[in-house]
């Protein structure tokens, strides 16, 4: 692995956090910078990035900072024990545990899982970490500008307020609903049924019901163009790999997203 390091501003931007948060982590001994530059800026190397990724993962699982410190310290190796390769294997093992927890909780999207897998592979293979890929999926505000451009500032504000007002249990229930929809869409696409079939249309009805329950979207606004919104989303699932990945079948490609698009269009034209 290389010896490159990143400034506190770069890490804050990549991880979807703030320099103030990273300085606080330093103050409480949770994440110490690798070096302090002559201008006083904190810099972090690859090992620090791995630790930050683990911190963010544990925070997403609901742990407080004192608990996170205990987990990281209990699982860490002292500087005098083991070789560098042993340390890398320990970090990879810890990340694999976090990845398993993420999948069990079903609380994160495919982007976040892929970012953790990428880091594990790099650690095991002795490759240079790609910081640009390590924190994909952690910041729920990353699409703020895109949402505001598409549907207006009120749409983002309403949906963000709704998400922040939910309890952990409510978020888990909502994410379980999303996970179930994705699973059922993929199973239907892989079964070879027609998008117009009763089974596919039943999933489409559930999908539309889910969309209308998200405040701020055109589907949830009285008098909104629900039909156009649903058809447009279906097209976006195919055109945008970020969303199409949620419906990817085992053979890869866009076949799963195309199935969802076709089923949603048929449902919208018949019912909306």
Kindly state whether residues 93 and 178 are assigned to the same domain: no
In this predicted structure, the answer to whether residue 141 has a pLDDT above a threshold of 60 is no
215 phi and psi angles, rounded to 5 deg: -55, 145
Q: pLDDT: is 39 or 248 the higher one?
A: 39
Kindly state whether residues 106 and 221 are assigned to the same domain: no
Q: End of a domain among 85, 105, 134?
A: 134
In this predicted structure, the answer to whether residue 82 has a pLDDT above a threshold of 50 is no
In a domain, 255, yes or no: yes
pLDDT given at position 1: 46
In this predicted structure, the answer to whether residue 217 has a pLDDT above a threshold of 50 is yes
State how far the Cα of 233 lies from the Cα of 260, in Å rounded to an integer: 10
State how far the Cα of 186 lies from the Cα of 255, in Å rounded to an integer: 10
Q: pLDDT: is 130 or 37 the higher one?
A: 37
State how far the Cα of 110 lies from the Cα of 117, in Å rounded to an integer: 11
How many Cα atoms sit within 13 Å of 70 on the Cβ side? Answer: 5
What is the total count of domains within the chain?
Answer: 2
Confidence grade of residue 207 (pLDDT, cut at 50, 70, 90) = very high
pLDDT given at position 42: 94
Confidence grade of residue 176 (pLDDT, cut at 50, 70, 90) = confident
Kindly state whether residues 150 and 110 are assigned to the same domain: no
Kindly state whether residues 112 and 193 are assigned to the same domain: no
Kindly state whether residues 158 and 219 are assigned to the same domain: yes
pLDDT digits 0-9 by tens, 85-124: 565 666 676 667 666 655 555 444 556 666 677 777 777 7
User: What residue ranges in the chain does DSSP mark as E strands?
Assistant: 5-7, 35-36, 42-45
Determine the straight-line distance between the first and last CA of the chain, rounded to whole angstroms. Answer: 55
In a domain, 25, yes or no: yes
In a domain, 90, yes or no: yes
Kindly state whether residues 75 and 97 are assigned to the same domain: yes
- Torsion, CA 168, CA 170, CA 171, CA 177, rounded to 10: 150
Kindly state whether residues 232 and 164 are assigned to the same domain: yes
Q: What is the mean pLDDT of residues 1-10?
A: 81
In a domain, 139, yes or no: no
pLDDT given at position 177: 81
Q: What is the mean pLDDT of residues 69-95?
A: 60
In a domain, 169, yes or no: yes
pLDDT digits 0-9 by tens, 223-254: 767 888 888 888 888 877 767 777 877 666 77
Kindly state whether residues 103 and 130 are assigned to the same domain: yes
Q: End of a domain among 105, 134, 163?
A: 134
In a domain, 157, yes or no: yes
Q: End of a domain among 83, 99, 134?
A: 134
Kindly state whether residues 169 and 106 are assigned to the same domain: no
Q: Which of 137, 99, 134, 95 is nearest to 118 (CA)?
A: 134
In a domain, 10, yes or no: yes
Domain of 216 in residue numbering reads as 144-271
Kindly state whether residues 184 and 254 are assigned to the same domain: yes
């Amino acid at each position: 692995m290389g010896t490159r390091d990143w400034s506190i501003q770069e890490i804050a931007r990549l991880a979807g956090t703030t320099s103030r948060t990273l300085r606080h982590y330093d103050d409480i001994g949770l994440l110490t910078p690798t070096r302090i530059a002559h201008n006083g800026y904190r810099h972090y190397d690859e090992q620090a990035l791995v630790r930050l990724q683990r911190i963010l993962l544990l925070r997403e699982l609901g742990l407080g900072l004192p608990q996170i410190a205990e987990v990281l310290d209990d699982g860490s190796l002292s500087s005098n024990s083991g070789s560098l390769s042993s340390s890398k294997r320990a970090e990879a093992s810890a990340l694999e545990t976090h990845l398993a927890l993420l999948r069990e909780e079903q609380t994160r999207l495919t982007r976040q899982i892929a970012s953790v897998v990428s880091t594990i592979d790099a650690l095991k293979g002795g490759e240079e970490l790609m910081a640009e890929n390590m924190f994909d999926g952690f910041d729920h505000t990353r699409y703020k500008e895109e949402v505001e451009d598409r549907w207006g500032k009120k749409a983002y504000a309403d949906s963000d307020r709704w998400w922040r007002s939910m309890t952990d249990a409510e978020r888990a229930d909502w994410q379980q609903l999303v996970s179930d929809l994705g699973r059922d869409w993929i199973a239907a696409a892989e079964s070879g049924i027609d998008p117009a079939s009763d089974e596919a249309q039943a999933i489409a009805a559930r999908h539309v019901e889910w969309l209308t329950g998200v405040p701020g979207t055109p589907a949830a606004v009285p008098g909104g163009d629900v039909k156009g919104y649903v058809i447009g989303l279906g097209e976006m699932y195919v055109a945008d790999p970020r969303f199409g990945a949620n419906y990817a079948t085992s053979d890869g490609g866009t076949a799963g997203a195309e199935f969802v698009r076709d089923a949603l269009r048929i449902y919208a034209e018949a019912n909306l």
